[in-house]
Amino acid sequence: MSKSILLIGSNGQVGTELQNTLSSNYKVIAVTRPQIDLTQSDNLRQIIRENQPEIIINAAAYTAVDKAESQPELATAINAMAPQIVAEESQKLGSFLIHLSTDYVFNGNSNYPYQENDITNPVSVYGQTKLAGEIAIQKACSQYMILRTAWVYGTYGKSNFVKTMLRLGKERPEVRVVADQIGSPTWAKDIALTITQIIPQLTLELAGTYHYTNSGVASWYDFAMAIFEEAEKLGFLLKINQIIPITTPEYPTPAKRPAYSVLACEKISKLLGTHPPHWRQRLILMLKELQEKAL
């Protein structure tokens, strides 16, 4: 009989992809709002106890980075307290917990890819609450995998950088995009495929923190350029004819972002037996998928 997986946050970018990649081999119990309320500990405990999953994947988070600055209590409840409860229940059941985290746990002052054991020092409420969630899991649970990722975009979910750029590119002749923040754009489907590949290998020895992003680095400006170049080749309707690079101070936001948040992925590459695919190749696949979905 296939293992049972409780997937929390099943309607997000990664959650939807996980449902697609896992459902053929596992019994997936997909929960999202309104069935589950991450701010209500009793509700969360009840759902875990009722389903008794062998694996729990927490793909849910409060991800509104700027809004978190004015809603720290809500961000803390979802990103720190809920993971602690999930970890406690997971420990009681003897389940394996896979939890998605973020590059925002680092301050971005580095100029080399961040290793899993590098010092964390988040510069935003979002980053602070995500780090608090990581620490809570490490304390409460012995069988866990924290998977930090970055710059996630996908076909599903309400909005992401690719979808925003395509919308703006359809409406405007020019867009201004930050050129001094560096990271690795990562396709949600690749995160889901990676988790699916790891699940059969899960053992206590593998417990710990891992980084996974697509390979290659880019600024948001580079990413935007690539989106428009590839979308144009594929025949997307675009009005855009100029992309203007700007600095972070020229685009002030409530939350501070890491200037450099490239994650080193050697540890997970060793586990997978292969390096993550390059972000630009995966962007093309995602754009093709979006096109097909629109037909």
For the question of residue 62 being annotated catalytic, the response is: no
CB 117 within 8 A of CB 77: no
Which string of DSSP letters, residue by residue, matches the chain?
-PPEEEEESTTSHHHHHHHHHHTTTSEEEEE-TTT--TT-HHHHHHHHHHH--SEEEE------TTGGGT-HHHHHIIIIIHHHHHHHHHHHHT-EEEEEEEGGGS-S--SSPBPTTSPP---SHHHHHHHHHHHHHHHH-SSEEEEEE-SEE-SSSS--HHHHHHHHHHH-SEEEEE-S-EE--EEHHHHHHHHHHHGGG--GGG-EEEE---BS-EEHHHHHHHHHHHHHHTT------EEEEE-GGGS--SS---SB-PBP-HHHHHHHTSPPPBHHHHHHHHHHHHHHHH-
- Which entry of 62, 104, 126, 153 is annotated as an active-site residue? 126
Supply the residues annotated as catalytic.
126
